[in-house]
Structure formats: structure tokens, C-alpha cells
Structure 1
Amino acid sequence: MARSHLTLAALATSAVADLDLVSASEFGSRHDNEFDSALLTGRDGKHWIIRVPRSEAAEAAQSADLVALQAISAGVRTRLPFAVSSFVGQTPVSGTRAVVYEFVYGSKVGLGDVEPALAASLGTAIAAIHNLPTSFVADAGLPIFGANEALRAAVSVMDRAAATSLVPAALLARWESAMEDSKLWQFQPTVVNNTLSADSVLTAHDEVTGILNWQELRVADPARDVAWLLASPYPVVVDAAFDAYTKHRGSADRQIRQRATLYSELEVAKWLLHGTDTRNTEIVDDAVEMLASLVDDVQNDVMHPIGAQTMPTMAVDEVEAFLDRNERSV
């Protein structure tokens, strides 16, 4: 049974010494099965959020998020053009814990409702994340993945999806061509949020005001953070985001959009694998339909690799040799 906002307010006063609250209200969706949450207002006008996980998975995500938030120091935060929440306090409750955070102001906007101005702010915000020094991630003991790990992960998803015999041959050929493009995978890993989506971003007046959900903070392929933008139905929005991103990162990663395209398409393959792994026929059928739609969407590009046409490609055995070389250089 969900905890009431009054119960959560009482927990907050236990978690944070001298917390003087004047009101509490429900926060989040009633359909949120992961956390009990409440918005708290202090006598000084400040706001906080309290969250209590409702499952082991939610508790694990919360723990990882706390590690990340503590790693993002005050100095790191000054480099970001948006707010990141901070841990305030915690208290044990029913075998788990209630955690109080600083409230980050802003509203969530569906990707389909993003206008070019907000898209540009998104590109700027993501570039700021990727421009952060990687040392603070390493110092916190958080994961660090290089180009060869990114390629291996992509190949693994493709191979597993291909084994289902449910992926159209045209898509497999398209993906394999991208994975064989050596220059596509020559990039410098950066700090990434790694779970960015419309649900992670808070906005106001066409500006990004905050980014949530840092539980997968790491050093990895920056294309992971921009792949979700490609789902926008408006090319002008996608272009605005990538133009702003490039403006603030320069030509540090010329092939980021191509890899993002690959990752975006592989998300459908992951959905298919989730359906087969859980033996959920509804998910499998949905994924198959999405794959068929994807074939139609890229029909004009099926004969072209996701990477630049002028780039040389490697045979499969050369991909393995490329991975081996990268491993030796790490």
C-alpha cells in the first residue's frame, strides 16, 4: 500500500535535522510503482522531495543515483548550465530507506512537444555533460567503458536479435555495415548520464532547468546520451539539438550522430529481446511491428551504411582484430 504524503513528511523530519515543514503534497504519477514520493515545503519557502522505493530494483537504482549525486561535486556542478539535485538526508523505514533530496524546478515535456529552441538548449545541456572532466567519475569508482566495449555491446545486441530470426534482413545488413565501419568507432569516451530521455529532463521557458536520474553515470560513448533525440517526429528539432551540441563540443566526435542512429535502432532490437527473454508474446509482436516500420522508415537508406559513405569498412574478422588492438591499448 502506498504511503501517504503525510507519512512521508513525518519520515522527512526524521531524515533531516531541524527540517521545519509547513506543507506536504503528493508528487508524481499515481501509477508510479517504483517509489512513494511527496513534495515538501519548508517554512523558509524551500522545497524538497522525499522518495521511498517500493521494490528491490527501485532501491538499487536509488542507491546508484545517490553515489552519482555525491560524485557530482559543487565544482562539477558549476560547469553545468542546469541544476542537479542533492542528497539532504535519509532514514530507515520497513527494510529500506526514505531519502530526502533538494527539489529541482521545472516541468517535463514530451519529445513530440519539443520546439527547436528547447532542442537547442537540450543540445547545449548534453554537450556540457560530455565536456566534464572524466576524472571525477574515475575517482568515484564509477564504470569506464571505451570504444571497443561500445562496439562489443552493439554487436552482442545485433547477434542476439538475429538469433530470433525475427529481424528483417535489410536491418541486419544495415546494422552490420555500421559495426564494420572502423571510423564510426573511433571516438573519445566522455562523461555520460546514460539514461537520458524526456522523463529525465526538466524545462522552463524553452530552457533545460534540471536533469534527473543519474544512476548510470559513467564514462562511455557520448552517442548514448543523444540517441533518444532521434525519436522526435520533427527533423528541424533533431537538427537544432545536434547543431547546438556541435557548437559547444566542436568536432570532437564527427560520427556521434551516426552512432546515435544505430543505438536508436538497436533499442527496438532490445525491446524484441526483452519480449523473447520474458516470453511475452505481446511485446514480441509489438517489437516485430516496430521493426517492420523501421524498415519502411530507412528504406531509402538501406543500401547505404549509417556511417559516412566515404569511410572504409572492415570485414567481420577485421572487426575482431580491431577489438583486440583496442583491448591491448587500454
Structure 2
Amino acid sequence: MARTHLTLAALATSAVAGIDVVAASRFGTGAHGDFDSALLTDRDGKHWIIRVPRNDRAQAEQSADLVALRALSAGVRERLPFRVSTFAGQTPFEGTRACVYEFVYGSKVPLHEISPELATGMGRAIAAIHSLPTSFVADAGLPTQTALDSRRSCITVLERAAATGLVPAGLLARWGRATEEAQLWQFQPTVIHGSLSADSFLVTEGQVSGVLGWQDLRVGDPARDLFWVLGASDEYVSDAALESYGRERGNIDRQVRHRAMLYAELEIAKWLLHGTQERSTEIVDDAVQMLDGLIESIANDVMNPIGEQRLPAASVDEVEQLLTRSERAL
């Protein structure tokens, strides 16, 4: 049963010493999300967010997010051209905990509404994350993945997807060649957000004002923070983001776009694996349909490795539908 915004407001007074809440309203996705959330206003006019997990998955995400936010010290945050939420306090509640954060202002822009100008700003924001020193991640005990680790994780997904017998042979061959191409995996790991999507960015007056959802913060393949933009229906959007990213980063590996393409395609394989794990015929059928659509979209290129040229990604509708379905199912 969802907790009311009034209950959440009362919890906030226990979580943060001295907070005087004068207004509260429900915030987020309501009954279909992983969290009960409320937007709070204190007597000074400052805004806060309180969240209570609804399930074990959300609780794990919350815990990881707290570790990441604490690792993002004031010195680290000064290097970023946008705001990151600050953890303010917590209180136990019904076997879990309610956490309060300072509110970060801005609006989310759906992938299909992102303009090339906004994409340019997003590319700069991602580059700023990837330019952070890796030492603070290691000091916080967060994951550190080498290029070899990234390659092995793709191989694992490929092998598990192949075992289902539901992935077209052309895609298995295409992904297999990509994992075997040594040049594709010659890159320097960086600090990465780890779970970026269009939904991660907050925008104010056409500029990136904040980035949310830091639970997968780690050192790893920078391409993991870029694959989502390849789903934009307007290719100028993905080009603008990647070109801006490249300008900010300077000398980066020349294969980052191609690995991003591989990650984008493997997201569908992961959706298939989720469906088989949950024994959901609906999810499996949906994933198979998406895989069939992908093989059709690259029908003229299946014999060419991903690293040789830019090939079509899933459409914006497919990407957004996949993300939405994943959030509802997980």
C-alpha cells in the first residue's frame, strides 16, 4: 500500500533535524514506481525529496545511491557543470528506511524531444563525469572495471542470450565479431555514471541543470554512458552529443561510438534474459520482436563488424518502450 505524502512529510521531520515542513505533495510515478516519494517545502521555501523503497530492488538501489552521493564530495562536485542531489538524512520505517535529499531543480526531456542543442549540453555533461579523477571511486569502495572486464561482461550476455535459442544467428555472429575485435576494446576506463538515459538529466532553460540516479557510479567503459543517445530518432541529436563529448574529452578512443552501439543492441538481449528469468511470455515475445526488428534494420550490414562503421540502432520508440517496460517489470 502506498504511503501518503502526509506520512512521508512526518517521516522527514524525523530524518532531518530542524526541518519544518509546511507543504507536501506526491512526487514521481505514483502507484507504479519502486518508491513512495513526496516533494516537501520547508518554512524557508527550500524544497526536499523524501523516498521510501517499496521492494528489495528499490532498497538496494537506494543503498547504492547513498554510497555514490557520499563519494561525490564537495571537491568532486565543483568539477561538474550541473547539480547533484545531496543526502540530508534518514529514518527507519517499516523494515526499510526513508531518505531525504535536497531537491534538484529542472525538468526531464523525453528522448524524442531532445534537440541537437540540448544534446550538445548533455555531451558536455557526460564528458565532465568522465573527466573526474578515478581515485575517489576506488577510495569509496565502488566497482572498478578494466577494459577486459567490460569485454567479458558482453561475452557473458552474448553467451547467455545464445543459450535461449531465440536470438537470430546474424546478431549472434555480429556481436561475436565485435567481442573478438581487439582494437574495439583498447580504451582507458573512466569514472562513469553507469546507468545514464534521457531520464537521468534535469533541464532548466535549455541547459543541463542536474543529473540523477547515481547508484551505478563506478570506473568502467565510457561507452556505457553514451549508448542511450543512439536511440534518438534524429541522427543529428546523437551526432551532436557524441561530437560535443569528443571535443570536451579531447583524445579519446576512436571506438567509443562502436562500443556504444554494441551496448545498445545488447540491451535487447538483456531484456530477453530478464523475460526468461521471470518466465514471462509477454516479455520474451516482446524481446524477440525487438530482435527481429533489429536484424531487419541491419539486414544489409550483418556481415560487417560493428567496429567498421556506424549502423542503425533500435528506433527511439523501441528504446523508450524498452526502458519503460524494464522499469515496470523489475
Would you call these one fold, judging by a TM-score over 0.5?
Answer: yes
Deviation, 1:303, is 2.3
The amino acid that maps onto 1:175 is W
| TM, length-normalised to structure 2 | 0.91
Matched residue type, 1:199: D
Quick check: 1:70 aligned with 2:70?
A: yes
For the Cα contact (< 8 Å) 2:41–2:48, is it kept in 1? Answer: yes
Q: CA–CA distance in 2 between the matches of 1:123 and 1:265?
A: 21
Give the letter aligned to residue 145 of structure 1: Q
Query: Corresponding residue for 1:321?
Result: none
1:175-186 → structure 2 map (5 Å cutoff): 175-186=175-186
TM-score, structure 1 as length reference: 0.91
Displacement after TM superposition at 1:251 (Å):
2.4
Map 1:253-272 to 2 at 5 A.
253-272=253-272
**Aligned position for 2:158:** 158
CA distance in 1, matches of 2:211, 2:32: 19
Q: State the SS of the aligned residue for 1:299.
A: coil
Pairwise CA distance, 1:233? 1.1
Aligned amino acid, residue 268 of structure 1? I
Amino acid at match of 1:250: G
- Give the RMSD, CA atoms, in angstroms: 1.1
Distance in 1 of aligned mates of 2:23 and 2:145 = 44
Amino acid across the alignment from 1:136: F
Q: Secondary structure at the match of 1:144?
A: coil
Structure 1 partner of 2:323: none
Q: Deviations over 1:294-330 (max 9, x none)?
A: 0122223222111137xxxxxxxxxxxxxxxxxxxxx
- Give the count of matched residue pairs: 309
Cα distance in 2, alignment partners of residues 110 and 198 from structure 1 = 6
Deviation at 1:281, TM superposition (A): 1.1
Secondary structure of the equivalent of 1:284? Answer: helix
SS at match of 2:300: helix
The whole-number CA distance in structure 1 between the counterparts of 2:203 and 2:89 is 26
Report whether the alignment pairs 1:300 with 2:272.
Answer: no
Q: Could you tell which deviates more after superposition, 23-32 or 179-188?
A: 23-32
Superposed CA offset, 1:268-306 (max 9, x none)? 111111112222111111111101110122223222111
Unmatched segments (≥5 aa) in structure 1? 310-330
The CA distance in 1 between the partners of 2:95 and 2:281, in whole Å, is 35
Instruction: After superposition, give the CA deviation of every residue in 1:100-150 in whole Å (9 maximum; x if it has no partner).
Output: 100011111111111101111111111100000000000001110001111
Amino acid at match of 1:153: S
Q: Deviations over 1:79-98 (max 9, x none)?
A: 11111001101111111111
Alignment-derived partner of residue 231 in structure 2: 231
Aligned counterpart, 1:220: 220
Moved more, 41-50 or 70-79: 41-50
Shift of 1:74: 0.3
Q: Compare CA radii of gyration and give the structure with the larger one.
A: 1
* Alpha-carbon contact 2:2-2:31 (below 8 Å) kept: no
Partner in structure 2 of residue 99 of structure 1:
99
* 1:22 maps to amino acid: V
Structure 1 residue ranges, 4+ long, deviating more than 6 angstroms after superposition: none
CA separation of 1:205 and 1:301: change in aligned 2, threshold 3 A: farther
> Map of 1:1-330 to 2, 5 A cutoff?
1-308=1-308
Q: Secondary structure at the match of 1:300?
A: coil
Q: Deviations over 1:225-276 (max 9, x none)?
A: 1011111111010000001000100122211000000000011111111112
Moved more, 295-304 or 183-192: 295-304
